Structure 1
């Protein structure tokens, strides 16, 4: 039996199991607590987690295989990884945990610490810096194309 047939059969079995579980889901007028504790919901999430894990494993495997097969690709990947680490470091340095947010959150009944606020700020700064970099690279590519 070749791998293609094994994959097709296993996907058919998982699809049939998901369909059976879908038929066993609680009705829409069921209380939320009862719906969350449903065995069908639990097993559907297990199927989703399994398929997500398989997809991530295969994606990582083939990306690494391609990366190591091409030395130029490996070099570009390492440069990109180093640049990402620099963005994270810069974002961490720019974030501030003592800007009064801890007191504001405590006033709202949410207990937090300065390190949590600093980590959240770091995440936001990483996001914004990556958006700026993405927009800049798109504009740079467009401008380069215009002058060629």
Structure 2
């Protein structure tokens, strides 16, 4: 029963998307750009709403099925919690070792628009970059290790 309902919902959303896309194509690029410059986005808004609905449904289903699978597979729950803890540890370590801007950089390097970035904003961005670098190194090492292990086992 749920499968039939989901198919009908998918069909309705798909048809709405096709209709709104047809309206956009029929209107033409130049008219849409001119209307957008004037502040009128009424022709594009319905398609964007359909896209947001689809994104929300996909995220909802992913979260529901992941949580359902975690609680039905308790060994997977342990591994997932270990992974989440390791990721949180990387984020915390990255934030702690990141530094805010010193006076030489604060003269305009950390500006967005007319507003200067605060020290905490700079520290969060720095922590995010450090976490990104750490995770890249971990991913590269794990790929190399996996490739070497596969080669040795053959």
TM-score (ref. length: structure 1): 0.87
Aligned to 2:56: 53
Give the gaps of 5 or more residues in structure 2.
none
Deviation of the 1:49 alpha carbon: 0.9
Equivalence for 1:71: 74
User: Equivalent residue for 1:145?
Assistant: 150
CA contact (8 A) 1:102 1:113 kept: no
Q: Take 1:97 and 1:126, find their aligned partners in 2: how far apart are those partners?
A: 15
Structure 1: gaps (5+ residues)? none
Q: Following the alignment from structure 1 to structure 2, what is the Cα–Cα distance between the partners of residues 7 and 143?
A: 44
Any conservation in 2 of the 1:91–1:125 contact (CA below 8 Å)?
yes
Q: CA deviation at 1:57?
A: 0.9
Kindly report which structure 2 residues correspond to 1:1-148, keeping only aligned pairs within 5 A, or say none: 2-25=1-24, 26-30=27-31, 32=33, 34-35=35-36, 37-99=40-102, 100-103=104-107, 104-106=109-111, 109-148=114-153
Q: How many equivalent pairs are there?
A: 147
Task: Provide closer, same or farther for how the CA distance between residues 31 and 45 of structure 1 changes in structure 2, counting only shifts above 3 A.
Answer: closer
Distance 1:72 1:81, change over 3 A: same
Measured in 2, the distance between the counterparts of 1:114 and 1:59 equals 36
